[in-house]
Amino acid sequence: MPRIHRLEAVVANQIAAGEVVERPASAVKELVENCLDAESSRITVQVDGEGRSLSVIDDGVGIAGDELALAVDRHTTSKIYRIEDLESQTSLGFRGEALAAIASVSRFTIRSRVHGAAAGTQLTVDYGRAGGLRSVAMPEGTRVTVDDLFHLHPARLKGLKTPAAEFGAIQHTVQQLAVARPDVRMTLMRDERHVLETPGQGDAAETLLALFGRELASHLIGIDYASESGLRVHGYVAPAHVHRANRFGEGLFVNGRWITNWGLRAAIEEAFRPNLPERRFPYFWLWLEMPPADYDPNAHPTKAEVRLYQENRIKALLFRQVQDALARRSTPVSWGAEGRMPDVARAAEGSLDLGWDRADRAESAADDSGRVLHRQFQELTPLGQWRAKYILAQGVDGLYLIDQHAAHERVYFERFRRQGAEVTLSQPLLVPVPESLTADEWAVWKRHQRDLARLGFEVEDLGGSTVAIRSVPTAFHDLETHQGLFRVVLEMLSGGESAEGRLHPVSWAEEAAYAMAACKAAIKANRPMSHDEMRWLFGQMSQVEDPRGCPHGRPTLIVLSLEEVDRRFGRRG
């Protein structure tokens, strides 16, 4: 058996570099983030071909000549000194790995001049082996040049995609970092040609205009919300009818750090779902500001993924804020661009029909605010029902197909949300309902006992994995059966999305209860409706904040324009 021995530092660095430098875009990200931490006001990225040779230039504070050799060694940094510093970390780079990792897999040259110095200092590192220092004439700031990236690592070279794809990843990286820091002027050049440049004046909207053009910028909807706990969400989204085929138009930032978080991204995308065509993605750029102690940026070598300690509540907040912003500029779902109707899932069936009498309509109307937010629904003329499931109506902008259950569910959902705590008061059951929970469900119940009690669920531990449900929220008291309600709420509280994607990922306990209550209370499919009832429902939809979809993400309506009908019949007017 071979004897255990210590690897050479060069070999160890090259192995470790695989976690930090996966492709040229990874090197660009690390280098630009170092420039941002150096208080730069202008950063230029120059790329040759697909990015295996590149330079990053800044006008920051620079690195002293006697510290250059230390800067390219592993686990050296100016950002932290002790373990406690990680709890208040605000810089983008602090692990002390980036320069060492890049220098170990390339021909690496760094030259830097601190402010006030007579000259700069240059250091060259050849695949992890450092050369000597020498003085050079240069402007104040730092310039890092990377040549022949992965030249000595054929396995890494084979893993690279086409030159166009690799440069596309670099461009996306620079775009996201530019949006994250609109106060810094960023320039990207490829083969001496300007690809993008931002104004660097501190205005995020102007930066988006420079990067994505006036047409997209004209559609942007602003978001700005601050909670009492110190969490602030601000930024921009575009309406759902403005979309693209990939996620290059999405950006999430925590305290100025560009992050990748699939849970938060799923919650945001869910707010767009009712109007977003299949396999298309929205535009959004949202900044989260929170105390440094509320998140851990050290969970991943590249610091792209961060650990949020209140992730479920942040998901709910993002979903609600994006949904509200889209509702302010909502438009109905239109006939698909490919000439087919968007998929509309089958409405929930088999629940108790609560009826549709005059008393029910009067009670609901009394709870509504009376504000008309979407006048087009008041102007609809009902034509009839199709299969006792969909309402057909004529409007100014076309033929409306309305899912009666989803539309009424949205009305109830917003009504319950306005009533707030009244919905979640406990209603004792005449006979307690036993539930046998799985290990995962048991863990969720134990973790969220206070949330469930606040919702109105009184649950008793019977031993083993069995519980007894003694009280349910008041909103459920008219239902014939409570079987399964508790488990559905547990699933929502777990923060997971079902395999079919029918449940939105928002784990806010109140939202889960309101959505469930609305689903059970709303008129069901296969229920005939009179024209008066249809008109009443249209009036209710004109008053809700977001008429586009039900609280579970399904669309409430689809609009078919006259022009589209004429086109499909071969008419020209």
pLDDT, one tens digit per residue, over 157-210 is 888 888 888 888 899 999 999 999 999 999 999 988 888 999 999 999 999 999
pLDDT for the residue numbered 78: 61
pLDDT for the residue numbered 77: 65
pLDDT-based confidence at residue 323 (cuts at 50, 70, 90):
confident
Length of the chain: 573
Asked if pLDDT for residue 31 goes beyond 80, the answer is yes
Q: Please determine whether the domains at 9-197 and 335-573 fall in the same fold group of CATH.
A: no
pLDDT for the residue numbered 203: 93
- Based on its alpha-carbon atoms, the radius of gyration of the chain, rounded to whole angstroms, reads 29
Is the pLDDT higher at 463 or at 495? 463
Least confident interval from 191-195, 268-272, 363-367, 544-548: 363-367
Q: Give pTM, 2 decimals.
A: 0.62
CA–CA gap between residue 188 and residue 450 (Å, rounded): 51
**Axis crossing angle, helix 439-447 with helix 485-493, rounded to the nearest 10:** 70
End-to-end CA, the chain? 85
| CATH class (in words) of the domain with range 335-573 | alpha beta
Least confident interval from 53-67, 115-129, 240-254, 498-512: 498-512
Asked if pLDDT for residue 363 goes beyond 80, the answer is no
Query: Which of 202, 207, 210, 239 shows the shortest CA–CA distance to 222?
Result: 239
Is the pLDDT higher at 474 or at 477? 474
pLDDT-based confidence at residue 112 (cuts at 50, 70, 90):
very high
Tell me which long-range contacts 130-134 makes (C-beta under 8 A, separation of at least 24).
130/69, 130/72, 130/103, 133/65, 133/68, 133/69
Placement of tokens 């920051």 in the chain: 60
Query: Which of 230, 203, 227, 231 shows the shortest CA–CA distance to 217?
Result: 203
Is the pLDDT higher at 526 or at 125? 125
pLDDT for the residue numbered 330: 59
Q: Is 448 helix (H, G, I), strand (E, B) or coil?
A: coil
CA–CA gap between residue 236 and residue 287 (Å, rounded): 9
Q: What residue spans of 379-473 are helical by DSSP H?
A: 404-419, 439-447, 449-455
Least confident interval from 176-185, 314-323, 335-344: 335-344
pLDDT for the residue numbered 101: 85
Query: Which of 227, 183, 177 shows the shortest CA–CA distance to 56?
Result: 177
pLDDT-based confidence at residue 508 (cuts at 50, 70, 90):
very low
CB 551 within 8 Å of CB 415: no
CA–CA gap between residue 353 and residue 355 (Å, rounded): 5
Q: Is 380 helix (H, G, I), strand (E, B) or coil?
A: coil
Task: For the chain, count helices (H), then strands (E).
Answer: 19, 25
Mean pLDDT within 434-456: 78
pLDDT for the residue numbered 502: 33
pLDDT for the residue numbered 320: 86
pLDDT for the residue numbered 342: 33
Query: Which of the listed CATH numbers 3.40.50.720, 3.20.20.10, 3.40.50.10860, 3.30.230.10 matches domain 219-329?
Result: 3.30.230.10
Average pLDDT of the residues of the chain: 78
In this structure, whether the domain defined by 9-197 belongs to CATH 1.50.40.10 is answered with no
Tell me which H or E stretch contains 546. Answer: none
Percent of the chain with pLDDT over 70: 75
CA–CA gap between residue 478 and residue 481 (Å, rounded): 9
Beta-carbon contacts of 512 under 8 Å, excluding residues fewer than 6 positions away, are: 455, 488, 489, 492, 493, 506
Q: Is 115 helix (H, G, I), strand (E, B) or coil?
A: coil
Query: Which of 393, 274, 368, 272 shows the shortest CA–CA distance to 321?
Result: 272
pLDDT for the residue numbered 135: 94
Is the pLDDT higher at 497 or at 151? 151
Q: How do the domains of the chain map onto residue ranges?
A: 9-197, 219-329, 335-573
- Alpha carbon 423 to its chain centroid, in Å, reads 29
Asked if pLDDT for residue 337 goes beyond 70, the answer is no
pLDDT for the residue numbered 287: 94
DSSP string, 286-317: EEEE--GGGEETTSSTTS-S-EETTHHHHHHH
Tell me which H or E stretch contains 72. Answer: none
Mean pLDDT within 241-265: 86
